Amino acid sequence: MQLIHDVARWRAYCEDQRANGERVGLVATMGALHAGHAALFDAAKVRGDHVVATLFVNPRQFNDANDLTRYPRPRDEDRALASAHGVDCLVEPSLEEMWPDYPNATATTVSVRGIGENYEGASRPGHFDGVTSVVAKLFTITGPCRAYFGEKDFQQLAMVRQMVRDLSFDVDVVGCPIVRDDDGLALSSRNVRLGPVGRQRALVLSSALRDVGSLPANASTLRSRLRATLVDAQLDVVYADVVNPVTFEPSRDDEIGEARALIAANVDGVRLIDNGTVTLEREER
């Protein structure tokens, strides 16, 4: 596995791979890698891509300075996992190259309106602007590629797809299924901050999603059932809703077909998100 630390070499490396007939598969990460990231690397390898992974803790997407400070940075373990899962090139760019004016505000921001204004966008002001700005920069430097994102951050995935469509990036965005631990908890770098009791309480998120996922009904029924399960478990609910998976508008009762249930909750001081597919059906009056 090759390590690259500067933008010029990163850009040239990707250009060289394409010149040699390779298709670049990009996996953007902030490190603290786990089996969810490994699944993205594996998905790219299965498709025959030359896998370029980025490891950059992006300060612009943290609206809480303490959260940024606490973010884990196990660099040696990250490199080992990436290498073990076939990453061909790991890019670890410096903060100075990625955001030369930091900690001052960067003059240019990429913002996706609509999709990014509710749920995570409302709960974490500025977060999504930081995400889409850095992803736009990753795409610009990497060039034409397939880019792999996990569905756990489903709103982020929808925003990236919209940005690619709107700005005509030569990027094929591939969404990959949520990876869960044996107990059902969606894998996240934040999970290590859960104690044994907190982890047990956190399992309500995935069980609530399984419940509504097995119950075709109208949006109001699914929404109410989802929220009631979380409230009954005495979780600190940030949001729980059923939405259109493309526009992220709240689903209406006259809609049928596939929708997405979204959850965010604080569990013992740890903010967790999860989501799952639900089926909308009209209910008889």
For the chain, 285 residues long, give each residue's pLDDT as a single digit of tens: 999 999 999 999 999 999 999 999 999 999 999 999 999 999 999 999 999 999 999 999 998 888 888 888 999 999 999 999 999 999 999 999 999 999 999 999 999 999 999 999 998 889 999 999 999 999 999 999 999 999 999 999 999 999 999 999 999 999 999 999 999 999 998 888 899 999 999 999 999 999 999 989 999 999 999 999 999 999 999 999 999 999 999 999 999 999 999 999 999 889 999 999 999 998 766
The confidence score (pLDDT) of residue 282 equals: 86
Characterize 210-236 residue by residue with b for buried, 16 or more Cβ atoms within 10 angstroms of its Cβ, and e for exposed: eebeeeebbbebbbebbbebbeebebe
The confidence score (pLDDT) of residue 285 equals: 60
37 catalytically annotated: yes
The full set of domains in the chain, from first to last, is 2-176 (3.40.50.620), 189-277 (3.30.1300.10)
Which one from 34, 37, 85, 127 is the annotated catalytic residue?
A: 37
